[in-house]
Amino acid sequence: MTGSVERFRVFALIAVLLAAACTPRSGEPPVTMPATASGLAIAPDFSGTIWAATGKRVYRSHDGGHSWHVVPGEGGATGVAFLSTRVVAVGRRGVQTGGFGAANLRVPHAVEAPLVAVASPYYRTNRLYALDANGRLWVSVRNAHRWARLRASGLPPGAVAVAAVRGDVHRPDAIYVACGRNGLWRSHDFGATFQRIPGAGPVTAVATTTDDQRLLLVAWRDGIELSRNRGRTFIHASSAGEVTAVAFDLRNARLAYASTSGGRLLRSDDGGRTWNLGG
């Protein structure tokens, strides 16, 4: 009997230690960003590098947001996304590209309408979707060159963020557009027509991941909501205040990040269900 009691005490102590190790310490300083992000993306490389577009500059973090380094470029950026081997940053001065480990971004090339948000449906693709400053939807199937405007019938005013995800390769991408007070909208025909997602309220940021096409993150002024069934229902996942950008890891559906208007970086390791302050 004595031996059983001792073994129980040892197991109980191990359980307490593991719980303490997994619980964020309230005394730890929050992970902050150099500026509020208008766009976040996680590079589909093995290091899971975070990229942030803040309007004036583009930043990159190799350590979960604990440290940030400016990626030099001439155009600034408000949105960021990834092709197979390149990062794409968009802003009012044009489109910039560079490698995952780029020392700097290339000189921006102008497009017909300045783009402010961008998304890729898959981490091995040459296709990108983007929004311009007037909320119109565009597509490029040539690695961020030769943009064409999509019809986007039904999409209301106020479009501010875009996400896309590829499921079955024989079917069109699902494109999601956040339209602020006008809600969240989805297209299943490559952006020709859009329908509102009834379960979502006002939305200013949206994210998807090819690792689990059912997952959908959305953000608004009071935090983050998560859908695990392609937008049919949502659960409130975080009350972090105004969230300005969200991103899923394209290759790992468990990992997601969000930026708040107060300059904090939030991190989720369970597919967006719960959130901690950074790395």
For residue 176, the enclosing domain spans 35-268
Task: At 96, give phi and psi (nearest 5°).
Answer: -120, 145
- Spatial strand order in the sheet of 39-42: 39-42, 50-53, 58-61, 69-70
Kindly report the average pLDDT of the chain as a whole number: 88
DSSP string, 210-232: TT-TT-EEEEETTEEEEESSTTS
Q: What percent of the chain has pLDDT over 70?
A: 88
pTM reported for the whole predicted model: 0.88
Give a yes or no: residue 44 inside a domain.
yes
Partners of 246 in beta bridges: 258
Quick one: CA torsion of 6, 10, 11, 15, rounded to 10 degrees? 150
pLDDT over 70 (residue 250): yes
Give a yes or no: residue 109 inside a domain.
yes
pLDDT over 90 (residue 5): no
Give a yes or no: residue 51 inside a domain.
yes
Domain count, the chain: 1
Amino acid sitting at position 198: P
Q: What is the pLDDT of residues 195-245, one digit of tens each?
A: 999 999 999 999 999 999 999 999 988 899 999 999 999 999 999 999 999
pLDDT score of 248: 97
Task: Check if the beta carbon of residue 78 is closer than 8 Å to that of residue 55.
Answer: yes
Reading the block at residue 271, the tokens are 């597919």
Buried b (16+ CB within 10 A) or exposed e, 90-106: bbbbbbbbbeeebeebb
Per-residue DSSP letter, 192: S
Give a yes or no: residue 21 inside a domain.
no
CA nearest 127: which of 86, 161, 91, 178? Answer: 86
Per-residue DSSP letter, 118: E
pLDDT score of 191: 97
Instruction: Identify which has the larger pLDDT, 194 or 12.
Output: 194
pLDDT score of 30: 64
Distance of CA 77 to the CA centre of its chain: 15
pLDDT over 50 (residue 16): no
Reading the block at residue 164, the tokens are 């896309």
- The CATH number of whichever domain residue 64 belongs to comes to 2.130.10.10
pLDDT score of 27: 37
- What's the whole-number mean pLDDT along residues 44-69? 91
Partners of 248 in beta bridges: 256
pLDDT score of 278: 57
pLDDT score of 29: 55
Distance of CA 168 to the CA centre of its chain: 21
User: Rounded CA gap, 228 and 234, in Å?
Assistant: 7
pLDDT score of 48: 77
pLDDT over 80 (residue 133): yes
Give a yes or no: residue 215 inside a domain.
yes
Per-residue DSSP letter, 102: -
For residue 103, give the 3-state DSSP assignment. coil
Q: Which helix (H) or strand (E) holds 143?
A: none
